[in-house]
Amino acid sequence: MTDVTTIGLDLAKQVFQVHGADVEGAPLFNRKLRRAEVLRFFAKLPPCLVGMEACASAHYWAREIAAIGHDVRLLPPQYVKPFVKRGKTDAADAEAIAEAVTRKTMRFVPVKTRQQQAAVMVLKTRALLVRQRTQAINALRSHMGELGIIAPTGIANVKSLAVIVRDEDDVRLPPAARFALTEIVEQIEMLAARIDKLEREIVIQARKDEDMRRLTTIPGVGAIIAMAVKAFVPDPAGFKSARHFAAWIGLTPKAHSSGGKERLGRISKMGNPELRSLLTSGASAVLRHVRYHDRAWPWLKDMLARRPFKVVAVALANKIARMIWALLNRGGIYRNPMEMKEAPVPA
């Protein structure tokens, strides 16, 4: 195995597939490894270029194998698929990874640290609890709607339904329905308390981190978005420009151009769905503020007069993403252009 220079590792829970090639790309071996054998196998090899698809356990294995002395690269799975010759087997996948990792134009995923993975877990735990709370609220609304009890939309109006459920004198709810719906109300309140606990911890962490504090100066960016950027984007300098960063998040039109004719469709929705959703929500909050403040960004008010609200929200989310990239790569804090124009010029 002294001739091996490139390794393609197809990850799994227990049985891994490893493909080795020499400097010219000629295959040397393609074999299976048990989980306990992986690190011992790489410890016996000379320093190699090791490729893996970016998946759930890829960052852990990348850190462990890199510590042995190998150059580890993580590849997006969609960029590996074109190199699979035919069929779907672990051996074919490992061979495709070994070939893809050597391409000069290949894009790689930065390896996350344990702290960055922990921050992602906090965000995804919050997202899970929010999703469960939404499901419980929808169940409560639908069940009470069957009995003719309706509340206005919005999470704040769920409290009025909870009051009805707990009112023993309200004859609109049969005893059996009140018993069942009380469980749902208590579930909603428990989830709300846990979400609030996580969000307070996120705010505490945002105040401790210099980059996160600078990001929160951007309109529409709060502690949650700042932590998401730090967790999901380990290396912002890996993007050539702010446009590349916004395109990675999926906030740019999807191109389908040929023969000199440029066709742009809807946003691509590629990249990170969690970060894209958070940025769009932050942009929507800014737009709701802009509607009722005359001194806000004039161009946004003009765009709202011409285009639908959600279209403008996506456009603003794209702009916010570019601001985030600029602050992370160039330093400084956000400065409102309108306030800079109105500031007095020093004598």
Angle, vertex CA 210, rays to CA 226 and CA 127, nearest 5: 20
Instruction: Name the band, by pLDDT with cuts 50, 70 and 90, for residue 1.
Output: low
| Confidence (pLDDT) at 298 | 77
Contact predicate 276/216, CB 8 Å? no
Phi-psi region of 87 (alpha: psi -120 to 50; beta: other; left: phi over 0): left
Task: Report the DSSP beta bridge partners of residue 71.
Answer: 49
Burial 231-268 (b: 16+ CB within 10 A, else e): bbbeebeebeebeebbbbbbbbeeeeeeeeeeeeeebb
Instruction: Name the band, by pLDDT with cuts 50, 70 and 90, for residue 299.
Output: confident
Provide the CATH topology of domain 6-100: Nucleotidyltransferase; domain 5 (3.30.420)
- Report if pTM > 0.85: no
Give the H or E element holding residue 100.
Answer: helix 90-100
CA dist., res. 278 & res. 317, Å (int): 9
pLDDT per residue as tens digits for the range 325-337: 999 999 888 887 6
Beta-strand pair 6-10/15-21: antiparallel
| Confidence (pLDDT) at 347 | 47
Structure token pair of residue 95: 């061979």
Asked if the model's pLDDT at residue 341 lies above 60, the reply is no
Instruction: Name the band, by pLDDT with cuts 50, 70 and 90, for residue 294.
Output: low
Asked if the model's pLDDT at residue 179 lies above 90, the reply is yes
Contact predicate 280/293, CB 8 Å? no
Q: What percent of the chain is predicted at pLDDT more than 90?
A: 69
Contact predicate 74/62, CB 8 Å? yes
Contact predicate 45/80, CB 8 Å? no
CA dist., res. 29 & res. 31, Å (int): 6
Alpha-carbon separation of residue 58 from 1, 40, 67 (angstroms): 24, 17, 14
CA dist., res. 19 & res. 325, Å (int): 37
Could you tell me which of 267, 242, 237 has the C-alpha nearest to residue 254? 267
Instruction: Name the band, by pLDDT with cuts 50, 70 and 90, for residue 156.
Output: confident
Could you tell me which of 149, 152, 178, 147 has the C-alpha nearest to residue 165? 178
Instruction: Name the band, by pLDDT with cuts 50, 70 and 90, for residue 254.
Output: confident
Contact predicate 323/297, CB 8 Å? no
- 238 or 90, which is more confident? 90
Contacts of 229 (CB under 8 A, 6+ apart): 215, 275, 324, 328
Instruction: Name the band, by pLDDT with cuts 50, 70 and 90, for residue 262.
Output: confident
pLDDT per residue as tens digits for the range 104-130: 999 999 999 999 999 999 999 999 999
Task: Report the DSSP beta bridge partners of residue 215.
Answer: none
Give the H or E element holding residue 90.
Answer: helix 90-100
| Confidence (pLDDT) at 301 | 82
| Confidence (pLDDT) at 339 | 60
Average pLDDT on 89-99 reads 95
CA dist., res. 216 & res. 207, Å (int): 10
Report the chain's mean pLDDT, rounded to a whole number: 90
CA dist., res. 123 & res. 201, Å (int): 11
What's at 8, amino acid-wise? G
| Confidence (pLDDT) at 127 | 93
Asked if the model's pLDDT at residue 296 lies above 70, the reply is no
pLDDT per residue as tens digits for the range 196-221: 999 999 999 889 989 999 999 999 99
CA dist., res. 331 & res. 7, Å (int): 38
- 257 or 81, which is more confident? 81
